[in-house]
Amino acid sequence: MRTVDFTPLYRNAIGFDRLFNMMETSNAKNTSGGYPPYNIEQQDENKYRITMAVAGFSDDQMDITQKENVLIVRGERKAEEGKTYVYQGIAERDFERKFQLADYVKVIGATMENGLLHVDLEREIPEAMKPRKIAINGSNLIESNTDSAK
């Protein structure tokens, strides 16, 4: 069994730290055997893209659901009768992939292009959670102390 070290990705991934931890811990329990293969790309500080190789699947055979902090991507093939294969090298099995998303990460869109499914994600931090500048008003503090001494 092959183990994957995600440590180099930690410094480049904002918002997916828990995802990498879960992938490391569940790698041995992964029943899909790495199918379909996927990439996680960081496009800027708060935008990400998951790209999955789903050759042979059409838009209507794919289902993408976000439930709380879990993104679920399913592919379900319709049974085609009357075909006899001499060799079948294209995987046509159903799949389900789950991705644990960080807080405030939501799906903003999905596209299918040349057998690749692109799921775009964005991290939207609420205004209350964003860092804010605090002004230092030292001159007002000194004046109020001198006024009270008089």
CB 62 within 8 A of CB 117: yes
Domains and CATH numbers, the chain: 7-133 (2.60.40.790)
Chain-centroid distance, C-alpha 66: 11
Nearest to 121 by CA among 14, 25, 27: 14
Distance between terminal CA atoms of the chain? 80
In the 8-state DSSP scheme, what is residue 85?
-
CB atoms within 10 A of CB 101: 20
Per-residue pLDDT 10s for the chain (150 aa) are: 556 665 665 555 556 655 656 565 555 444 456 788 999 999 998 899 999 999 888 889 999 999 988 999 999 987 778 888 888 777 778 899 999 998 889 999 999 999 999 999 999 888 887 788 888 886 654 454 555 555
- DSSP conformational letter for 64: E
Rounding to the nearest 10 degrees, give the CA dihedral for residues 81, 87, 89, 91: 20
The answer to whether the pTM exceeds 0.85 is no
Which residues, at least 6 apart from 70, have a Cβ–Cβ distance to it below 8 Å? 98, 99, 100, 101
